[in-house]
Amino acid sequence: MRSIQWRIVVIHVLLIVLAMVLISVYLLNRWQDYYLNLFEHDLELKGRLLRDQDLLNDSDLIEAAAVLGFDDEQGSNLVLLNKSMQAIVAYGPDIGIKPGSSLVENKPVGDLLSQPHEEGPFVGLYYQGGVEYLTMAIRAGGHVDGQDIGAIFLLQPLSGVYSILRDIQGTLLNATLLAVIVITILGLALARTITKPIVEITSQAEKLAAGDFDISVRVRSRDEIGRLAEVFNYLTKELRQSLNAMANEKGKLEAILEYMSNGVIAFDFDGRLMHINPKALELLSLPEEATTDEVLAKLKLGTANDILRLAPANLELEFDDTNNTVLRAYLAPVKSHSEQLSGVVVVLQDMTEQSKLDQMRRDFVANVSHELRTPLTTIKSYVETLLDGTLADQSLALRFLGVVNEESDRMARLVSDLLTLSTLDNLKGHQKQPIFLDELALDVANRLAVAAQQKELHFGISLPEEVPSVLANSDEIEQVLVNIVSNAIKFTPPGGEIMLTVDVDAQNVTTLVRDTGVGIPPEDLPRIFERFYRVDKARSRQMGGTGLGLAIAHQIIEGHGGRIWAESEPGQGTVIGFSLPLVGAREEAGND
């Protein structure tokens, strides 16, 4: 009986049965009393009637007894007793009362005997042969069979009463059965009206638990169950909305994680990898389906438990890869509602560029101070010597002043180069206009031809028929050309050759300066565009170089969206080239 429906039915049935049993017991008792009373009265009446008959002879008595129902058919018995209460004669079916047998044992007879002044009738019960009789004794007179009659003793079987009572009992039982059946049917129907909405809500709740949120239950009534249905619908709606909101948030978060420029890795409390975003994979150079162990191995921070213990922390991680990657790792503990540690998030920031820049800045400051100090020291020492009396020796003084002048020029040049670089750093997107590189190259070649001649160098130039214009700042490109060509002159011994070439292809105009000079060792080649970088510091300085020429050229070309490079074979010569992107066709110059 697990369902509510059956429980309701059973309770109703039990109530009905209980009620019927109580009613039956009460009614049957009442009826039994009633019928017994009725029989008693009947018997009394008959007794009195018989007594009042003048029972003189047997024939009258037999007739009267038969009329009153004391015969085989009715089963009632009439016994005439003598004064000593012994049976004289019995009418009716034979129930074992023989003439002469004493009946004093029987209560009403005993009562008569013990109360000689009472007439009766006295009433009692008598059992004989499994039958219960209602008995009654009444004092009487007359004679029979030659004996004095002392009393009349009547026995009436109660089987009639009991059969009536049994009938009533049967009826009551039938009524109870009928009531039970009706109540069962009605109860089932009633219980159904209660349980059906509950069953419906339950089945919908099960669907809800299984993850289906597009459900609702019908509200059938305004009662408690109706309210339950309403609340259930409301809860479902709220749940659906919260889940949608959560999904949205999750989507947003995932998009943010996906596209953010920092790497994010999340571990749960058991040290399992929960999430790693693409940037983190890239920073750690891991494949997309990296496992927890692979990630931990890359991070080199120990086990996930160690990381959990470390958090919160701010660490710098260095990697010995080709890039010399430097990552900053922020370890942030993730706490649950109850402030319990539930995981850790590692945010990785790529600091490689930053740390390179820091290093470069430090180098730059060191270089600048060094470069300025050298000429300053020279100037100071010469001036001190002059002050110490060398001034008197005019020719020596003049020579010293010449050195001082040279060193001041050098300092001025250095400062002006630094200024150039700084302007280039600060001023992106300066004035550009279409320029023609062939014209510019010719210009520069003319300006530097004298210097080349003085060094006994062959200076050649090769230009194509037509060079399209490029969008550029003419002064800056000219400076690039001057820097590159003057290097070639400077680093090529007398008798060498310098060739200036301009080439055009679909996208670029490329300028190459080729010399047959000392060349650059391969290990220095990648660095010559760095500020202050010189292959042979001492020699270059001797030649008045500061190591900024190519750095300036590099800066300018980058600023124009072009490319500058160097190729060299030590002892054979060097090629420095740069290319600038073409924009549009060459505008027809009027006087070609």
Task: List residues near Mg ion by CB under 5 A.
Answer: 487, 549
Smaller CB separation from ligand ATP, 266 or 564 = 564
Tokens 């059992």 belong to 127
Smaller CB separation from ligand ATP, 343 or 547 = 547
Smaller CB separation from Mg ion, 487 or 555 = 487
Query: Closest residue (Cβ) to Mg ion?
Result: 549
Compute φ and ψ for 516, nearest 5 degrees.
-115, 40
Identity of the amino acid at 102: S
Q: Name the token pair of 407.
A: 């060193």
Smaller CB separation from Mg ion, 150 or 545 = 545
Site membership for ligand ATP, residue 512 (CB under 6 A): no
Query: Smallest distance from the beta carbon of 483 to ligand ATP, in angstroms?
Result: 6
Determine contact, residues 479/464, Cβ cutoff 8 Å: no
Q: How many residues does the chain have?
A: 592
Number of H helices, E strands in the chain: 14, 19
Query: Smallest distance from the beta carbon of 487 to ligand ATP, in angstroms?
Result: 3
Smaller CB separation from ligand ATP, 554 or 560 = 554
Site membership for ligand ATP, residue 520 (CB under 6 A): yes
- Segment interacting with ligand ATP (CB under 6 A) among 32-40, 150-158, 531-539, 583-591: 531-539
Smaller CB separation from ligand ATP, 46 or 490 = 490
Site membership for ligand ATP, residue 534 (CB under 6 A): yes
Interaction partner, residue 579 (Mg ion, ligand ATP, none; CB < 5-8 Å by kind):
none
Find the helix packing angle between 437-454 and 474-490, rounded to 10°.
Answer: 30
Q: Name the token pair of 2.
A: 């697990």
Buried b / exposed e along 110-145 (16+ C-beta atoms within 10 A): bbbbeeeeeebbbbbebeeeeeebbbbbbbbebebe
Query: Smallest distance from the beta carbon of 362 to Mg ion, in angstroms?
Result: 24
Kindly write down the DSSP assignment for every residue of 223-262, as one continuous string. Answer: SHHHHHHHHHHHHHHHHHHHHHHHHHHHHHHHHHHHH-SS
Q: How far is CA 101 from CA 84, 98, 115, 142, 509, in A?
A: 11, 6, 21, 20, 160
For residues 202 to 241, the per-residue mask of contacts with ligand ATP, x marking binding by CB under 6 A and - elsewhere, is ----------------------------------------
Smaller CB separation from ligand ATP, 463 or 512 = 512
Query: Smallest distance from the beta carbon of 399 to ligand ATP, in angstroms?
Result: 24
Give the C-alpha separation, 279 to 240, whole Å: 33
Residue 226 Cα to chain centre, angstroms = 31
Interaction partner, residue 459 (Mg ion, ligand ATP, none; CB < 5-8 Å by kind):
none
Query: Smallest distance from the beta carbon of 369 to ligand ATP, in angstroms?
Result: 17
Smaller CB separation from ligand ATP, 263 or 549 = 549
Q: Is 385 exposed, middle or buried (0-12, 13-18, 19+ CB in 10 A)?
A: middle
- Return the residues of window 378-417 that contact ligand ATP according to CB under 6 A: 417
| DSSP single-letter state for residue 262 | S
Give the C-alpha separation, 332 to 329, whole Å: 10
- Return the residues of window 536-565 that contact ligand ATP according to CB under 6 A: 536, 540, 545-551
Query: Smallest distance from the beta carbon of 362 to ligand ATP, in angstroms?
Result: 20
Query: Smallest distance from the beta carbon of 574 to ligand ATP, in angstroms?
Result: 4
Query: Smallest distance from the beta carbon of 582 to ligand ATP, in angstroms?
Result: 26
Query: Smallest distance from the beta carbon of 524 to ligand ATP, in angstroms?
Result: 7
Q: Which of 65, 103, 518, 556 binds ligand ATP (CB under 6 A)?
A: 518
Q: Are strands 458-462 and 433-435 parallel, antiparallel or unpaired?
A: unpaired
Strand-pairing partners, residue 565, are 577
Give the C-alpha separation, 13 to 198, whole Å: 23
Interaction partner, residue 343 (Mg ion, ligand ATP, none; CB < 5-8 Å by kind):
none
Query: Smallest distance from the beta carbon of 324 to ligand ATP, in angstroms?
Result: 24
Query: Smallest distance from the beta carbon of 444 to ligand ATP, in angstroms?
Result: 15
> What is the chain's alpha carbon radius of gyration, rounded to the nearest angstrom?
66
Q: Name the token pair of 403.
A: 């050195």
Contacts of residue 92, defined as CB under 8 A and 6 or more positions apart, other chains included, come to 65, 70, 71, 72, 74, 75, 76, 77, 78, 155
Nearest to 175 by CA among 1, 27, 7: 27
Smaller CB separation from ligand ATP, 283 or 488 = 488
Tokens 């038969």 belong to 66
Query: Smallest distance from the beta carbon of 441 to Mg ion, in angstroms?
Result: 18
For residues 448 to 487, the per-residue mask of contacts with ligand ATP, x marking binding by CB under 6 A and - elsewhere, is -----------------------------------x---x
Q: Which of 371, 407, 478, 515 binds ligand ATP (CB under 6 A)?
A: 515
Interaction partner, residue 76 (ligand ATP, Mg ion, none; CB < 5-8 Å by kind):
none
Q: How many residues bind ligand ATP (CB under 6 A)?
A: 24
Smaller CB separation from Mg ion, 473 or 487 = 487
Smaller CB separation from ligand ATP, 5 or 546 = 546
- Segment interacting with ligand ATP (CB under 6 A) among 152-160, 356-364, 500-508, 534-542: 534-542
Tokens 């945010």 belong to 347
For residues 417 to 446, the per-residue mask of contacts with ligand ATP, x marking binding by CB under 6 A and - elsewhere, is x-----------------------------
Query: Smallest distance from the beta carbon of 498 to ligand ATP, in angstroms?
Result: 9
- Return the residues of window 491-510 that contact ligand ATP according to CB under 6 A: 491
Residue 171 Cα to chain centre, angstroms = 67
Q: Name the token pair of 441.
A: 């190259």
Query: Smallest distance from the beta carbon of 473 to ligand ATP, in angstroms?
Result: 20
Tokens 């429980």 belong to 7
Nearest to 397 by CA among 408, 379, 383, 409: 383
Question: What sections of 341-387 are H helices per DSSP?
Answer: 352-387
Question: What sections of 427-547 are H helices per DSSP?
Answer: 437-454, 474-490, 537-542
Interaction partner, residue 548 (Mg ion, ligand ATP, none; CB < 5-8 Å by kind):
ligand ATP
- What 3-state class would DSSP assign to 531? coil
Footprint of ligand ATP (CB under 6 A) = 417, 483, 487-488, 491, 515, 517-520, 528, 533-536, 540, 545-551, 574
